[in-house]
Amino acid sequence: MDSGKRLRVLMISKACVVGAYQRKLEEIAQDPAVELSVMVPPFWDDRHRRIDLEEIYTEGYDLIVDPLALNGNFHLYYFPTLRQRIQEIQPDILHIDEEPYNFATYHALRVARWSGTKALFFTWQNILRHYPPPFSQMERWVLHHADYALAGTHDAARIWRDKGYGGPMRVIPQFGVDPDLFSPDGASAATDRSFVIGYAGRLVPEKGLDVLIQAVGMLPGKWHLKLAGGGPQHDELQQMVGLLNIGGSVSFVGPIPSTEMPDFFRSLDVFVLPSLTRPNWKEQFGRVLIEAMACGVPVIASDSGAIPEVLDDSGLVFPEGNVQLLRDALIVLMQNEAFRLHLAKLGRERVLKFFTQEQVAQQTVHAYHEML
């Protein structure tokens, strides 16, 4: 490529309907060698709720809002306008922000090869799965024709090497955090001196919330549990709270907009992610962990999937499903403020070293240049 020419990149991403995730796009666009366009849908119809586009961080790049075909179908959705957009933009690189076994990736890579555009995919998948036709054929074709791959964790990278991908690959999280937005506020989290424990995410069995509720139900002293998010397990968890007679100490606060999450984290003394591995799922990263850590909140998490890799020594890790050891870890942080502050400091430092949007963007731009 001509050294004086800007690198034209077109990214397609349903994930970037979330406003906080768009900070990475602004960081990529700050590179003077990159001209970035990003295609997003006007909404994503998740299994449990509709996520509307939040246009929050949109400086420096072209945000293209185009409809999806089969919106909400994770395996079959795609952008029907992609060929037209590639003809208009004539990108050097198509960044497909999606797993290699989905039709969206297969369709986008087909269009890229038709136009002579180099293309990469992104993957979180950290379990060796074998898909039925036609997904197995689409996946095999993608692995043999993609020019580059980005994997969110080293576990994910190993999976795709085992499945036959032999091209260049970098391990880069899909998104980092903005350390200015997700930052400590310097104030004590608890206003009534209750010890405030928090969780944010889907209310589904694999997140292990029954383990968390049982653990807090055995805590001494004053405490309060805040559960942010929605999902099919909501009523079951509420019933469990009632049976344990701890309803006055547990709040279901519902889904929170991405830009309001820092305030939620700052209201906590500790954040807990008690994920449980299932035959078809294990924790792929746990983005809420780095958001909490960036806000100066100590974290406790199970050892499911990528969690130990994400935390290293900056948080407390307990064997998944072990109610007693989760309770013990909570008591340690309840009773030892100095240790709690130490973990908070380690967590913030780890985020600043490895998980900022700026670092993720810079590594992504390096991958673009390697492709060419």
Q: Specify the pLDDT at position 258.
A: 83
Q: Specify the pLDDT at position 1.
A: 53
Least confident of 3-12, 37-46, 182-191, 307-316: 182-191
CATH H-level, domain 7-176+356-371: superfamily: Glycogen Phosphorylase B; (3.40.50.2000)
Q: What is the pLDDT of residues 71-114, one digit of tens each?
A: 999 999 999 999 999 999 999 999 999 999 999 999 999 999 99
Q: What is the pLDDT of residues 196-252, one digit of tens each?
A: 999 999 999 999 999 999 999 999 999 999 999 999 999 999 999 999 999 999 999
Q: Specify the pLDDT at position 49.
A: 79
Q: Specify the pLDDT at position 259.
A: 83
Q: Is 195-354 in CATH node 3.60.21.10? A: no
Q: Is the pLDDT of residue 119 over 80?
A: yes
Q: How confident is the model at residue 46 (pLDDT cuts 50, 70, 90)?
A: confident
Q: What is the pLDDT of residues 309-365, one digit of tens each?
A: 999 999 999 999 999 999 999 999 999 999 999 999 999 999 999 999 999 999 999
Q: Specify the pLDDT at position 2.
A: 55
More confident residue, 140 or 259: 140
CB contact burial 298-309 (16+ within 10 A = b; e otherwise):
bbbbbbbbbbee
Q: Specify the pLDDT at position 193.
A: 73
Which sequence spans correspond to the domains of the chain?
A: 7-176+356-371, 195-354
Q: How confident is the model at residue 185 (pLDDT cuts 50, 70, 90)?
A: confident
Which 3 state secondary structure label does DSSP give 346?
A: helix
Which whole number is the average pLDDT over 54-74? 96
Q: How confident is the model at residue 256 (pLDDT cuts 50, 70, 90)?
A: very high
Which whole number is the average pLDDT over 5-17? 96
Share of the chain above pLDDT 70, in %: 97
**If we measure between CA atoms, which residue out of 67, 69, 73 comes closest to residue 102?**
73
The residues, ordered by sequence, that sit 6+ positions from 187 with a Cβ below 8 Å of its Cβ are 266
Spacing of C-alpha 30 from chain mean position: 22
- Residue 17 contacts residue 55 (beta carbons within 8 Å): no
- pTM of the predicted protein model: 0.87
Please provide the DSSP assignment of 11-49 as one string: EE-SGGGSGGGHHHHHHHHTSTTEEEEEEE-SEEE-SSS
Which whole number is the average pLDDT over 271-294? 96
Q: Specify the pLDDT at position 47.
A: 73
Q: Is the pLDDT of residue 10 over 60?
A: yes
Q: What is the pLDDT of residues 132-146, one digit of tens each?
A: 999 999 999 999 999
Q: Is the pLDDT of residue 293 over 90?
A: yes
The CA–CA distances, whole Å, from 281 to 47, 128, 129, 301 equal 16, 10, 10, 16
Cα–Cα distance measured from residue 134 to residue 144, given in angstroms and rounded to the nearest whole number:
16
The backbone torsions φ and ψ at residue 83, rounded to the nearest 5 degrees and listed phi first, read -60, -45
More confident residue, 22 or 189: 22
Q: Specify the pLDDT at position 4.
A: 65
**DSSP H or E stretch at residue 93:** strand 93-96
Which whole number is the average pLDDT over 1-10? 80
Which whole number is the average pLDDT over 20-35? 95
Q: Is the pLDDT of residue 123 over 50?
A: yes
Q: In CATH terms, are 7-176+356-371 and 195-354 the same topology?
A: yes
Cα–Cα distance measured from residue 94 to residue 109, given in angstroms and rounded to the nearest whole number:
8
- Give the chain's mean pLDDT: 95
Taking the alpha carbons at both ends of the chain, their separation in whole angstroms is: 7
Gyration radius of the chain's alpha carbons = 21
- Residue 240 contacts residue 210 (beta carbons within 8 Å): yes
**If we measure between CA atoms, which residue out of 169, 171, 172 comes closest to residue 143?**
169
